[in-house]
Amino acid sequence: MEKKNKYVAYLRVSTQRQGVSGLGLEAQRQMIRNHLGEQPLEAEFVEVESGRKNDRPKLKEALDTCRKSGAILIVAKLDRLARNVCFLSQLLESDVEIVFCDFPSANKMMLHILSAISQYEAELISSRTKAALKAKKERGFKLGNPNHLLDKHKQAIQNSNKTNSSKAQRNANNKRAIAMLRVLCDRSLTLQQMTDTLNDEGFTTSHGCKFIPSTVYKLIKRYNLKQGGKS
């Protein structure tokens, strides 16, 4: 009977927020499950740490568990283990066999090349981010100023309101209802009477629903209709 391999999973996310939310972790778990099929895991270790740092207590625990049980360390993607070439080189030369789900058949030379590319990409992203922040600061922006975020939030609300208003004006149901409301306003009817009339005549809102007095009131205000009667 063929002896089945034992596996210990190692997962890593870069920030505490990702660790708490599970962002990225479930995708890694799915890759590992797909690779192993029905084979169970001996253990799973989750690290919350940057890929460029070598202080990995959970990785050390995972490697120790592999040594004790004779298991293979399985990682979803190469960059989840490390983005540092020297650090990865030491791991690949260790006494623990490591399998990467995204490159299951890659040899050590290929893994060294891929880790070098991964490290280069990490350094490139870091340098670009620093350069962009420096340039922004030189242009007079105060980085991390909550007032800027508040201004953007207010602008986003204004843009959303304009978009919603524009959609409402173009809506065919609204156009028909407004035309009828112009006539009803001239008849000095109350809001409830106008609402009943619109519903009785088969008019609907922009979402295809029946009218209620508050909806009629909003339309009257939005289109600045003259209401002769009491509301």
The number of domains in the chain is 2
Give yes or no: residues 84 and 173 share one domain.
no
Closest by Cα among 216, 197, 193 to 206: 216
| Amino acid symbol at 26 | E
- Per residue of the chain (231 residues), give pLDDT as tens: 556 889 999 999 887 655 555 558 899 999 999 999 989 999 999 998 765 566 789 999 999 999 999 999 999 987 787 666 667 677 777 788 888 898 877 666 666 566 566 566 666 776 777 777 777 777 777 665 555 555 555 665 565 555 555 555 567 777 778 888 888 888 778 889 889 988 888 888 877 788 898 888 888 888 888 766 444
8: three-class secondary structure by DSSP: strand
Q: What is the pTM of this model?
A: 0.47
What angle (nearest 5°) sits at the alpha carbon of residue 140, between those of residues 137 and 144? Answer: 55
CATH of residue 73's domain is: 3.40.50.1390
Give yes or no: residues 33 and 109 share one domain.
yes
Contact 181, 219 (CB under 8 A): yes
Give yes or no: residues 21 and 113 share one domain.
yes
What gap in Å lies between CA 52 and CA 221, rounded to an integer? 58
What gap in Å lies between CA 97 and CA 214, rounded to an integer? 68
Contact 173, 205 (CB under 8 A): yes
Residue 104, domain extent? 7-120
Q: Which residue has the tokens 């089945």?
A: 4
Q: Does a structural domain hold residue 73?
A: yes
DSSP for residue 6? P
Give yes or no: residues 115 and 174 share one domain.
no
What gap in Å lies between CA 137 and CA 142, rounded to an integer? 6
Contact 60, 82 (CB under 8 A): no
